[in-house]
Amino acid sequence: MHETTQELTIRAATRSDRLAICTLLQQAWHSGGTARWDQLDALETGCGAVLVCRGTQTVGFCLFDLRAAPVARLSAAAIADREQVGNVWKELWPASEGHLRERGIRFVHYIGEAPWLLEALREHGF
C-alpha cells in the first residue's frame, strides 16, 4: 500500500461511471456482490451508486438496486487495494445511507458472503 495524499470526495454515480464501477469490482481484492448490466444501465433511474474518489480515481463504491422501493438491495461494493478499507468505508457508508434516504429508501438488505463487507456492515450497525 502506498501513501495517499489527496482527499477523498464522495458523489452519486452517473451512467458515465459504469466502466469505473466494473473495473474496480473486477480488480479489487476487497469487493463483494455483482453488478449486472441491467443495474448499471439503470443508474440514475432504478439503481443508484455512491462513489468515493481520490483525485480522478474511483477508489470505492456501493451499488444499490432501488427498484423495489422502499427496500433497496446492496448489490455490490468494492474498495481499491491501495486504500485502507476502514478509512474509505467510514466515508462511503454514511454517504450511501444519506443517498438512500434522499431516494425514499427505508430498508437495505445484502445477500452475500464477502467477509470484509460483512464485517464493515456490522461495524456500522447494519
pLDDT digits (tens, 9 = 90+) for 44-74: 999 999 999 999 999 999 999 999 999 999 9
Q: Which CATH class is domain 8-123?
A: alpha beta
Higher-pLDDT residue of 81, 4: 81
Quick one: cell of 18? 459504469
3-state DSSP call for residue 4? coil
Overall average pLDDT of the 30-43 stretch: 93
Q: What's the CA gap between 37 and 59, in Å, rounded?
A: 20
The 10 Å Cβ neighbour count of residue 5 is 7
Instruction: Grade residue 4 by pLDDT with cuts at 50, 70 and 90.
Output: low
pLDDT value for 41: 94
**All structural domains of the chain with their residue ranges:** 8-123
pLDDT digits (tens, 9 = 90+) for 10-26: 999 999 999 999 999 99
pLDDT digits (tens, 9 = 90+) for 62-116: 999 999 999 999 999 999 999 999 999 999 999 999 999 999 999 999 999 999 9
Which DSSP string corresponds to 49-108?
EEEEEETTEEEEEEEEEEEETTEEEEEEEEE-TTS-HHHHHHHHHHHHHHHHHHTT--EE
Locate cell 481520490: which residue?
Answer: 54
